[in-house]
Each structure stands twice: as C-alpha cells, then as structure tokens.
Amino acid sequence: MTLLSVKNLRVTFPTRQGPVDVVRGVSFDLGRERLGIVGESGSGKSQTGRAILGLTPSPGKVAADVLSFDGIDLRNADARLWRSLRGVRMSMVMQDPKFSLNPVMTIGRQLIEAGRRTVSKPQAKAAAMAMLEAVQIRDPKRVFSAYPHELSGGMGQRAMIAMMLITEPDLLIADEPTSALDVTVQIEVLRILDRLVTDRGMGLIFISHDLRLVSSFCDRVLVMYAGRIVEEVKASDLGQAQHPYTQGLLRCLPQIEGGARPLPTLQRDAEWAR
Amino acid sequence: MGLIDIQALEVTFTGGAAPVRAVRGLTLSVNEGESYGIVGESGSGKSTVLRAICGLAPTSGGVISVDGTALSRPRTPDFYRRVQMVFQDPYASLHPRHTVDRVLAEPLAIHGFTDAERRIETALTDVGLGTGFRFRYPHQLSGGQRQRVAIARALILEPRVLLLDEPTSALDASIQAEVLNLLDRLRGERGLTYVLVSHDLAVVAHMCERLTVMQHGLAVEELTRADLQARRAQMDYTRALLAASEGYRANDPMEASSSSAARA
Amino acid sequence: MTTMTRREWLLSDAPNSRAQARWGQMYRTWVALKANKLAMVGLSIIVVLVLMAIFAPILAPYDPILSGNIRTERLLPPSWDHWMGTDDQAFDIWSRIVYGARLTLLVVALVALIATPIGLLFGTAAGYFGGWIDVVLMRITDIFLAFPRLILALAFVSALGPGIENAIIAIAITSWPPYARLARAETLTIRESDFIAAARLQGASSWRILWGHVTPLCLSSVIVRVTLDMAGIILTAAGLGFLGLGARPPQPEWGAMIAGGRRFIIDYWWVATMPGAAIFIVSLGFNLLGDGLRDVLDPKARK
C-alpha cells in the first residue's frame, strides 16, 4: 500500500543570479517501509524531506506533479490542513535535538503538549510516560521532569523521537537523526526506530550522508546527486549498484580491513548532474 | 624512547560547577615517522590530549616530552616549528576575514622567514590547490579546500609532527578520501609523524600503524593496525566500537528472533 | 584583463592579487549596502552634510559670525533674502546652519576617532586576557556606565571649562564604555574559536592576535554601533551647546542656536526650529546608515 507518493518534485530558491533548483524532479513511492535517501552535502536530500512536510524555508518554492500522503493532496495544503497532519500523522526528527526541543519547557510538558493533539490530557500524560519507555529511556520519571539541557545528546535525541512519535504518526521523516551521536548510541537509536517501523507499521524516510549506515538499516535506498535521484537500489544489493556515483561513494570509504591505498577518489562527471 | 612521550598525563578543567577530569593518567609514546591514532567517542578526552600537547589545554599532572626534552610552559617558539595541528572544523579554523595568502603569511612573519613568496606558493602547490587560490577568502572555498589550506598552514613551518584532530569528520565521504590521501602522501614525502584523533575506526585503521582507544579520559587499550584488522580487541568497549562501525545489524542475537517473528 | 569588465574583476571568485581580493570584498559590501534603500537615504544625508561643510563659504550667503543690522534685520521670517530667516542677533540662520555642519562633523569625527579605539582596546584586551585584567578594565567601564552620559559630560565640561574642544573630549570620554562592552562580548566568543587557537599554535604573541585576528572581527559591530550612536553624540553636543557648555557664541553650533531661539519660540518659531530640524535630519541619516551597515556587516543580526 502506498503511503506517500511523490512525482516530479522540484524545490527552487531564488538567488541574485536567478532561480536555483535544489531538488530537480524527484519521484518515489513509499509504503510502510524504511526508505533511505543518501547524498552528499548539497545533493538536495534534506530539502526533499522538508518539502514533503511543507517545511521548505522561504523564499523557496515547491512544485510537484503528485505529492500525496495517504490520498491527501499536499501540494496546495493550507495552514489548517498542515496543522492536522504535521505532528499528528507525519513527523520529522532533525539532526540536533538541541535546536528542536524548547529549552525552557520540561521534556514531559513538551511531550504532553504534543500528545494532547489527539488525546485528552491525562491520557497524554500516560502516553508520554509509555513513549519514554518505548524509546528505551531507563529512568523515564527523571527525563519527564528534566529540561533539555540536563540531558545528554543521545537522551535528547530519544526524547525528540518520543515527542515525534507520541501521536503515532503514519510517516516519520528522520533527517540525519543520529549524526550528532556517538556510534554506540547511534545503533541504539536506530534500534528504536526499527522497532517502531516493525511494530507500528510506520513509514520511515531516513535521510543521511552515510551510505554504509543507511544500507545496513533501510530496505531501499535512493541515491541523490545534484538534486536528482541517480539510482534506486535495494539495500541488500548495494554492492551491485550500477551508477558510477554510488559505486564511487562506496569505494572511497576507508575500511578497517584495509584496502586500496591511496583511496580511490570520486571522479565527478558533469553528465551525472545533467 | 619515542619522539613524543606522554607520561601519566592529567588534564582537569576547573571553572565549571565541578572540576572535570578530561584526561586521567594517559601514557603513550609515538615513534618518529609513525602515525598514531587515538580513538574514542565524544567526551573521551581524545581531542584534549592533542590540545594538551600543544599547550592549549591545562595539564594538571604528568609529563609531555618531545625529542626527549620535557615541554616548557609556555611553549617556546621552537616548539611551534616542530609541532603543528590541523583542526576538526575547516569552517571554524580559518579566520573569516583573512585571505589564504594572509593565513599562510602569518606563521612565516612570526618566525621571521624572508622567502615568504616562494614558500606560500610551494605550500599551496603541495596541498594540491595551486597558486590560483592564493588570494581567496574562506567563504570562496569549499570545505575540502579549506581543510587543504589548514593543512598548508600547518606544514608551512616545516614541522616534524602534525597533530590531526578529526581532520575529515566535517567533510563529505568523497572529500574525506581526497584529504586522507593528501595526508598520506605528505607523510610519505616528508617523513612526518602524525597523531590522529578520530571517532571513526575505519579512518584510524587506514591512516595509523598503532592506536589507543580512550573512554571517559582513560586509555582503554592500545592496539596495532593488525590487531584491529583481525578484530583482536581485548576490552568490551573496543569490541562495541568495532561492532558499531559495521553499521546497523537487525538486532543483537537475543532480540533477532523475536523481531523477525513480529515482522513475519 | 582586457576582456574583463571592472565589475567582473571585482566580483571574481579567484582574485590574482591582494589588492583585487580586498577591493572585491569592499565592492561586495557596497553592493549589499546599495540594495538597502533606507541606508542609501541615510548615506546621502551624510554626504550632503559633508558637502555642506566643505563648501560652506560658497553655500552661505552671509557671514555666520558677523551679524547684520541689529535694528532692521533682527528676527526676520524666512524670505528670499534670508531662506531660514534671521535670529535675535540679526544672524542669517541658513548661513549659520551651513557653517554649523562643520562643527557637527568635527564633533562626530573626533568623538568617533577618540572613543572607538579606546573602547576597542579596553574591550578586546579585557575579553581576551580575562582574569584580573578583565576585572580591572570592566570595573572602570562600569563606573563610566553608571552615570547618564549627558550628566557625566556636563561634569567633565564643568571641570575642563566650556568650549567646543572640551565638549568633544567630554563626549568622547563618556561614549567609549558601550563600545568596550560590545568588543568584550564579541572577543569572548572569538577567543575560543579554532582560528585563534591556530594563531596561538603558530607562536603569535597576544598583541599580534588581538590586533590582527580579534580586532578586525570586533571592528564591524563596533562601527555599526558607533554609527548608530552618532545621533546620540550630536544630541549630546547640542545639549551641551544648549546649556551653554559647548561651543561659545558666536560659534554657529546647532544646539546653541536652539538655546538662543527658545525665548521667542512662540512668536518667531523659525529661530529654534531650523537648527532643530537640521539636528533631526542628520541624526536620522546616521541612524538609517547604521541600520543598513548592521545588516551588511554584522552577520549575526542578519536575518
């Protein structure tokens, strides 16, 4: 079943030199699965995620042939429709929890605030506690009454995920959700996301620069370059990727086992950006 | 005796509510011409070790010696000609209002070099930028180019030791490969000694012959590259790091069965 | 070079010389500033003020300190002969305003030249060295900040004696503390940055770092602040003149002119209004320019 359908998505920013397309005709369908979007800085991967949630910063403009979420056309959604969707049926986890959590509100209050959009206040409180436990926070009571600055990076990111998931959205867009975290914590956070997708049947778009991590976590990977999808591969078949960009990205990573020295570098081809 | 000897190094940051012991009794020795890695997660004290070597962090105990002589405080000008550092974030380590030319001329002026022109041009060529970049401002450079300028700045005084603090963690993977290759080549050409700090085991395995794993300011264990490649780690923490560097695995064996059942 | 226009040369992403890099940088700032219409209005006001000061002898039809016929030319309303009328001493007000531009500019320029370096030096040194240097320098700053500026300037002028030179010194002495505070705050954030650490690792001395690395970064926000403060400086100078502690008569100082006209403000409105309008317009000009400069030079305040 298709949860999200995107066809020919374009995001344009006006500059002094004229309009610049940062996303140029991206199309994909998402079911209740884990979809990875991988690319280097400037590839348009983050802007793709933002455009889906209507969060393109002004003066950016979004255009698409199809942009529908569960049958709802998002292209000309008004503020009211966005309010009923964002944070309720579709949510986003950003890279750094420090900038996404309100610094002067306790985690608990922020969770209840988020949860109250679908249920009553007492229910929201119960749901908040349950959610903190679901994201593997060992001492949910302490975190509930803590302020964001009292939490470590990993804890903050878990609290953030809890807040985004308390309304049990159908779609979660995670933009580099683990890049600010240590590797060992990173794996734990991914495990939480994994469980939520499996247990709740949520659709997940996982945006990252880390090809290896994405391919080990997602079902399907879209590789973006200069605003376009250059290749779509099943995560398990990444080794057989066809596009020279994907191949180059994989090869240029150093490996613990040792490998080529010097490392093969990526020879960019103007043809890829067309 | 190595080129750099660190004996029972202690670094304590006071000033906060409680003093923080960032490095606790670290001992290590780096040989001339070697590339030595320090691996750890954030807060492990790995970067603090580098800062302590060059006098940017307050040492509260222990001895650091280079070439057999204990370092004086403050460091002598001679020290800076032997030891230089490359920082993690190329967007923060270059002065936003200085051109590349000014960045490279500054150390030469401080140390009284007279052939600045020639040295600046050679330095830019050596790091693969070419003289066309000489009069640009940092905002006219990409991240990889900035890091090359930072490397040129570190090398322009012809030091023997280069301290590298996560030199590629702020760069894209393809740029990382280019910068690592550059560092590798420069070491081969000049017989430099590297101390490389990173959170990425693969980068350290690629670049360094020996490494120390740090956690909470303590050295967990010291490994050779061969140990790392054969996954001969003794300590649980090192094993956890090794496992995490492989990427995500569906679940640890215990949970794997239950979750695959749920998926089916 | 021959195929390149001057604009392309300035905007080149790969300059060939130090001079080209510097000019290019300035040109970019200028282009950004030019896009701000209000800042351009402010700049034109100030340019007009400067031109007025330079060409005062040509623009002024009468001598500013030689009065006309006291019996026949006193308190005349604005007319073709006297564009802004005359005052109770039979001076032509327009001529005095034109020559007053010189005094105003003198005050503004000297105060900026004296106060900015003091503020920068105190602020950057306090912020960079920290410790007891910071404590001593900032407590001195606090003492100056504890008094309202005009009151403190009054006290200084009373001690030094009235006169435009002493007024300038008094205003300069009282206007540097905010710049010191600002420079210190900027320095505190710059001090911890990697590029300062890198400079230290090259063996740069503290003064070299302060002068070559820290000051250029503090300078732009201080310049913005000084420009925005110009209005206040002009008003303080006018205030001192109004109270008879600034320029001595018959010097054509705008504040003193208002003071001279306040006795007949009901019957002969132009005597006080004309210099008042001049002060208002010039203050507005500096404020508009300061706002524009902030948008261009101060990346943190930019949206």
What pLDDT digit, counting tens, does each position of C9-54 carry?
888 777 888 888 888 888 888 888 888 899 999 999 999 999 999 9
Determine contact: B229 vs chain C, CB below 8 A.
no
CA atoms within 13 A on the CB side of C143: 6
List all residues 6 or more positions away from C27 whose beta carbon is below 8 Å from its beta carbon: C10, C11
Mutate to test the interface with B, among A34, A45, A95, A183 (most CBs of B within 10 A): A183
Q: Which residue of chain B comes nearest to A185, CA vs CA? A: B244
The answer to whether C271 touches C84, Cβ cutoff 8 Å, is no
**Is the per-residue pLDDT at C157 higher than 70?**
yes
Q: Determine the distance in angstroms separating the CA of A105 from the nearest CA of chain B, rounded to an integer.
A: 23
HEC string of A238-257?
A: HHHCCCHHHHHHHHCCCCCC
Q: Nearest CA to CA, how far is C201 from chain B (Å)?
A: 6
Please give the residue of chain C at the shortest CA–CA distance from B105: C202
Nearest to A212 among B207, B247, B262 (CB): B247
Instruction: Tell me the CA end-to-end span of chain A in Å, nearest whole number.
Output: 33
Distance CA B220, CA B235 (A): 7
Task: Write out pLDDT tens, residues A238-269.
Answer: 888 889 999 888 888 888 887 788 888 888 88
For residue C68, how many other CB atoms are within 10 A of its CB?
A: 18
Please tell me the distance from the alpha carbon of residue B194 to that of residue B164, in angstroms, as a whole number. 7
Residue window 155-184, chain B: list those with CB within 8 Å of chain C. Answer: 157
Give the residue with greater pLDDT, C1 vs C134: C134
> Residue length, chain B?
264
Q: Is the pLDDT of residue C281 over 90?
A: yes
B87 at the C interface (CB within 8 A)? yes
Question: Of C20, C25, C201, which is closest to B54 when you measure between CB atoms?
Answer: C201
- For residue B255, the model assigns a pLDDT of 41
Q: Among A173-182, B9-18, B255-264, C152-161, which stretch is predicted with the lowest mean pLDDT?
A: B255-264
User: Among B76-90, B202-216, C194-208, C227-241, where is mean pLDDT lowest?
Assistant: C227-241
Chain B nearest-CA residue for C203: B77
pLDDT in tens, B156-177: 999 999 999 999 988 888 899 9
pLDDT above 60 for A225 = yes
**Residue A92: is its pLDDT beyond 50?**
yes
Burial grade of A28 (CB within 10 A; 0-12, 13-18, 19 or more) = middle
Contacts of B87 in chain C (CB under 8 A): 194, 197-198
Q: Which of B27, B145, B25 is nearest to B94 (CA)?
A: B145
Do B96 and C194 make contact, defined as CB atoms within 8 angstroms? no
Q: How many CA atoms lie within 13 A of C55 on its CB side?
A: 7
Residues in Cβ contact with C213 at an 8 Å cutoff, skipping those fewer than 6 apart = B95, B98, C190, C195, C196, C199, C204
| Cβ-based interface (< 8 Å): residues of A facing B | 40-41, 153, 182-184, 186-187, 190-191, 194-195, 198-199, 209-213, 215-217, 248-249, 252-259, 261-266
CB pairs under 8 A between B and C: 76
Distance between CA C155 and CA C159 in Å, rounded? 6
Query: Nearest-CA neighbor of C105 among C164, C158, C154?
Result: C164
- The angle formed by the CA atoms of residues C75, C77 and C78, to the nearest 5 degrees, is 130
Predicted local confidence at residue C299, as pLDDT: 57
- pLDDT given at position C2: 52
Q: For B14, what's the count of Cα atoms within 13 Å in the CB-facing half-sphere?
A: 4
Strands A66-69 and A4-15: what pairing? antiparallel
Nearest residue, CB atoms, B174 vs list A187, A261, A266: A266
Cβ B106–C212 below 8 Å, yes or no? yes
List the single residue in C with minimal CA-CA distance to B132: C14
CB A143 within 8 A of CB A137: yes
In this prediction, residue A58 carries a pLDDT of 83
Q: Per-residue pLDDT averaged across B65-71, rounded? A: 89
Chain A hits for B228, CB-CB cut-off 8 Å, are 256
From chain B, the residues in CB contact with A182 under 8 A are 41-42, 199
For the CA atoms of chain A, what is the radius of gyration? 19
**The dihedral sign for the CA sequence A77, A79, A84, A87:** positive
Please tell me the predicted confidence (pLDDT) of residue C288: 93
Residues 189-218 of B with CB under 8 A from C: none
Query: What is the rounded CA–CA span in Å between residue B31 and residue B209?
Result: 11
Distance of alpha carbon B230 from alpha carbon B126, whole angstroms: 35
Reported as type and span, the H/E element at residue A172 is strand A171-175
| pLDDT at site B252 | 53
Do A188 and A154 meet the contact criterion of CB atoms below 8 Å apart? Answer: yes
Nearest to B92 among C193, C205, C213 (CB): C193
CB contacts of B96 in chain C (<8 Å) are 195, 217
d(CA A205, CA A170): 11
**What mean pLDDT do residues B18-46 have?**
90
Q: Which chain A residue has the Cα nearest residue B237?
A: A184
Is B147 within 8 Å of chain A by CB?
A: no
Interface contact flag, B110 C208, Cβ < 8 Å = yes
Touching A (3+ Cβ pairs <8 A), the chains are: B
Q: Is the minimum CB–CB distance between C18 and chain B shorter than 8 Å?
A: yes
Contact yes or no for B106 and C200 at CB 8 A = no
Instruction: Give me the DSSP letters along A35-96.
Output: EEEE--TTSSHHHHHHHHTT-PPTT-EEE-SEEEETTEE-TT--HHHHHHHBTTTEEEE-S-
Cβ–Cβ below 8 Å for C212 and B84: no
pLDDT tens string A111-166: 888 888 888 888 888 888 888 887 777 788 888 888 888 887 778 888 888 888 88
| pLDDT over 60 at B253, yes or no | no
Cβ–Cβ gap B135/C197 under 8 Å: no
Cα–Cα distance for residue pair C142/B32, rounded to 1 Å: 54
Of chain C, the percentage scoring pLDDT greater than 70 comes to: 97
pLDDT band at B105 (very low <50, low <70, confident <90, very high): very high
Distance from CA of B131 to the nearest CA of A (A): 22
- Other CB atoms closer than 10 Å to residue C232's CB: what's the count? 18
pLDDT above 50: residue B254: no
The token pair that represents C30 in the structure block = 């200028």
Name the DSSP letter for residue A6: E
Chain B: give the shortest CA distance to residue A41, in Å: 7
Q: Distance (Å, rounded) from C-alpha B136 to C-alpha A13?
A: 26
Residue C237 burial class via C-beta count within 10 angstroms: exposed 0-12, middle 13-18, buried 19 and up: buried
Contact between residue B65 and residue B5 where contact means Cβ atoms under 8 Å apart: yes
The answer to whether B216 faces chain A, any CB pair under 8 Å, is no
Whether B251 has a pLDDT exceeding 70, the answer reads: no
The neighbours of chain C, by the rule of 3 or more Cβ pairs under 8 Å, are B
Amino acid identity for residue C226 in this structure? V
Question: What percent of chain A lies above the pLDDT cut of 90?
Answer: 25
pLDDT, position A193: 84
Cα separation, B38 vs B238, in Å, equals: 12
- Asked if B259 is an interface residue toward chain A (Cβ–Cβ < 8 A), one would say yes
Q: What is the DSSP letter of C86?
A: B
> What is residue C285's predicted lDDT score, i.e. its pLDDT?
93
